[in-house]
Structure 1
Amino acid sequence: MTIRTITVPVKDLEASTALYSALLGSEPYVTSPYYVGFRPEGTPEIGLDPHGDVAAGPVAFHHVDDIEATIAALAEKGASIERSPHDVGGPVIATLRDNDGNLFGLYQGPAE
């Protein structure tokens, strides 16, 4: 089974759309008052749901080339660091919270 859509509950659809556009590196393919959908190449669809339960949001790790630069860019859009970047045996990971408190992770693979 393949995950095709991850729906993230949000309180502020406009602010979350800006943050997720920066995180995913793409603009939404659909924008409405009840759903904003992204289809970044090679990943499942990410949907923002302004009517969902914010406390029940999933954690997904996004692979990035430069974790520090990514954190800085996302912080400018309203993300906050939950757990600073730390080595987990080669890869470096960090967890952040979006504008609504949903947890998401960043993963930077080891240098080759």
Structure 2
Amino acid sequence: MTGPTTQGIKTVLHPVSDLAKAKPVYAALLGVSPTDDSSYYVGFNAAGQHIGLVPGGGPQRATSPVAYWHVADVEAKLAALSAAGATVTEPAHDVGGGRLVASVTDPDGNVLGLIQDR
């Protein structure tokens, strides 16, 4: 199998119902303050990973954390995953700073996130 490889899972987004209540819990868990702190997203950088809190469930109203695979070309990876049987649930879109995100579900409905940093 050929095609663009991933750079591994570096980002995990946790769906939360209340950012204000979740933020201190994750700060205590990770031992660091947020690096991104807004009304729509709170992110932490800890031990080489980015842990994010997303209100309202994140991609497809997920009810569990979603791991994001970092890739060099998100559109190429979406095409390869679609050809392999995955369903695109969140087309690639810019979330700020040139970062593109997208998600697919595997044949069992598991959400797989993709991130491309420009």
TM norm structure 1: 0.48
* Structure having the larger proportion of residues in strand: 2
